[in-house]
Copies of this chain bind each other. A is one copy, B any other.
Amino acid sequence: MITLTGVTDSATAKGEQTRELILSTALRLFREQGYGKTTMRAIANEAGVSVGNAYYYYGSKDHLMQAYYDLLQDQHREAVEPILAAEKAFVPRLAGVLRTWLDVSAPYHEFAGTFFKTAADPRSPLSPFSEESRPARDASIDVFRRVIEGSDLKLPADLKSELPELLWLLQMGVVLFWVHDQTDDVRRTRALVDRAVPLVDRLLRLTRIPGVRGVSNELVALIRSIKP
């Protein structure tokens, strides 16, 4: 049976084991030598299975990347828990969530470019905007919903309801920047997060000013109107 994400369900424990073996081998090779230089033959070889077997579990090389991305998101959701539990103010909550993403993703920075490349193709089910990746996207947006819910942020209701998606978009922007960032320890991206988050906070608080409020309402209306 083929699921929406293109990952084949395995019925037996042995199958499950093979699937995990293939994925972990692939991720290791991706990390060690990059996505482009890792061939499906090499993955199969290293895992001690045949090429066709890898394709039995993962519909394509890109699906192995998608599996990595899912894994990454799970790790991120877990790593973010202590921050959401400890911090009460909006700024450190958001900054913490974004910084944690950078930490979790660090080992994969080198080949992340290829991921983004695949993700940007609208025809690909791997695109972050695609219907197929809705579950993963929703889970990710939910993290930002919790960032807001648990914070001291006071906002108009309609803006507040759109904000999780907007912050997710912000995160996509950070990822795009990160992918292009070649500095040590992605110093520039960290600087971006550190400066952008307080700015977002200030921007949001501006909506209290009457003159700004109208524009903010229109912005929210626009965002709502362009959502499918």
Interface residues of A (CB under 8 A from B): 113-114, 116-124, 127, 129, 176-177, 179-180, 188, 191-192, 195-196, 199, 202-203, 206, 209, 211-212, 215, 218-219, 222, 225-226
Contact = CB atoms under 8 A, between A and B. Distances in A.
A195 B222 contact: yes
Main secondary structure of the interface of A (DSSP, over half): helix
A33 B206 CA distance: 50
Given A120-B116, A122-B113, A226-B177, A206 B215 contact: yes
A144 to B, nearest CB: 19
Nearest to A222: B195
A199 B196 CA distance: 22
Nearest to A123: B113
B117 A121 contact: yes
Contacts of A114: 121, 123
A119 B119 CA distance: 11
B215 A202 contact: yes
B180 A199 contact: no
Given A191-B225, A202-B218, A226-B192, A122 B116 contact: yes
Contacts of A191: 225-226
